[in-house]
Structure 1
Amino acid sequence: MVIAAILKTKGNRVISLGPDQTVLDAARLLAEHRIGAALVRGPGGELLGILSERDIVGGMAAHGPGTTGLQATQFMTRDLVTIRPETLVTEALSLMTTRRVRHLPVLDAGGGLVGMISIGDLVKARIEAAEQEAEELKHYVVSAG
């Protein structure tokens, strides 16, 4: 299965922050949408980074009290790990494991953003594929007997 198949059912809506928004704005946005990360995008829509719950906790631990008023760009991860729609789910899972990330922006061949997937999206896809395969095997065994 490829990432494009996940995006087809999940959709390609991506929650983003502006570079001038605060850590508190980011935390509220993540809580409101019940997500673990949001992309940080410039005024022209360009990707500047990603801000995750892990980034916020790490930033707060490093900077102490008063961090909620700092800009999200101070805590975001700038080195984005991205994938393409044709990336296999197994490849994406491996990339997440080796790079220790839980969210991957999906970019087209021209570098345009087409969606974002989480570890939860990938696990769900793998479980659904395993269940479908088990059902097909069950059907095969019943029809062969």
Structure 2
Amino acid sequence: MRISEVLAIKGHTIYEIEPGASLREAASQLLEKNIGALICSDRTGGIVGILSEREIARAFARQGGDLITLSVSDAMSRDVVACGSDDKVEEILDIMTETRCRHIPVVKDGVVLGLVSIGDLVKASKREA
């Protein structure tokens, strides 16, 4: 199964946030949309990071109550692993396991097509089995 097939089932909705936004704003968006991660993009739409619940938890562990003063750029992961829509689910699962990332943007010709989570890919693998 290919990543494009996962996106066909899951959808192509992308939730983004600017790096200058507050962590409170990001956490509110995660809660409101019932999602686990946001793509952090610059004004041109380029990916500059990813912010997941994990990054917020780590920021809280480091900063405690001072977390409220942090911006998305203070907590986001800048080492973003991306994949293509033609990539195989099994290959991306291996990459996610190796890099310990749980969300990967799907990109084609510099345009973000969607975001897949490890859960999305595990579900897809079970459907294929």
Instruction: Check whether TM > 0.5.
Output: yes
Per the shorter chain, which TM-score range?
over 0.9
SS in 2 for 1:64: helix
How far apart are residue 14 of structure 1 and its match?
A: 0.8
Moved over 4 A (4+): none
**Which TM-score applies when normalising by structure 1?**
0.85
Task: Report which of the two structures shows the higher radius of gyration computed on alpha carbons.
Answer: 1
Q: Is residue 40 of structure 2 the alignment partner of residue 40 of structure 1?
A: yes
> Which residue does the alignment assign to 2:111?
112
Distance 2:60 2:128 in 1: 39
> Which residue does the alignment assign to 1:88?
88
Cα displacement string for residues 71-130 of structure 1 (whole angstroms, at most 9, x for unaligned residues):
11100000111111011000011011000010000111x222111100111011111112
SS in 1 for 2:90: helix
Distance 2:39 2:30 in 1: 11
Cα displacement string for residues 11-62 of structure 1 (whole angstroms, at most 9, x for unaligned residues):
1111111122101111111111111111111122111100011111111111
> Which residue does the alignment assign to 2:98?
98
SS in 2 for 1:38: strand
> Which residue does the alignment assign to 2:14?
14
**Which TM-score applies when normalising by structure 2?**
0.95
Unaligned residue ranges in structure 2 (runs of 5+): none
Distance 2:51 2:74 in 1: 10
Identity of aligned residues (%): 38
